[in-house]
Structure 1
Amino acid sequence: MASSIVFAADQHDHGHEDKTLHGGLVTEIKNVDYELVAKPDVLQLYLRDHGNPFDVSKATAKVTLLSGSYKHEVELKSSSDKLEAQGSFKVTPGTKVVAQVSLAGKLATALFVLK
């Protein structure tokens, strides 16, 4: 299984800007944009391929929230055009979010740092 790791805080030059469409943090892994929307009651992960929504119906994801001694692992489920989990989440500034996404037999890992 192939794996990629990208940090959302990294600056990279790939010829276009990573734009948020849902008010979240965006990073790119192998031409796929990952946008994380983290709220106290919902975590959402949107995937886009060159600006077009990705079919996430067969994708799976595990998100780990890390803040000080706080660690919370959450499975995201396919929900229309995104992967999503509802619940109660600690999403304060500085919280690190590790998203592991399995899509078409490949694993991608992205690290986001909440602002």
Structure 2
Amino acid sequence: MTDTLSAVFAALADPTRRRILAMLLEDDMAVTDVADPFEMSLAAVSKHLAILAAAGLISQEKRGRVKWCKLEPDALREASVWMVGFGLVEPVNLDAFERFLAEELGTGPAIQDQDRV
């Protein structure tokens, strides 16, 4: 469990990787589309994607000649359970996490929470 947690937290520690996760919240994306908004080489973006995949936060699938990336939100569950164990945070609400990422990274309008007053 600790090795998995270490990989997840290490992957989340980098702002580029958090931005990639925010992009993948919207939909699956081709690697080249993931790389477009970044001012770095495709090889550099691929290294970030490899770290996210090793942590289980994304999966990659080859469709024809194109490699696609997909968010794996369940990978955050173990980290969430670990944090909840300290009693300092509530269980992770993925809708709230999506809103947070959208607001922090400016990737689009935040999702409106119908339950919020």
**Bigger Rg, which one:** 2
Higher RCO (C-alpha 8 Å, min separation 6): 1
**TM-score, with length taken from structure 1:** 0.25
**TM-score, with length taken from structure 2:** 0.25
- Select the structure that is richer in strand: 1
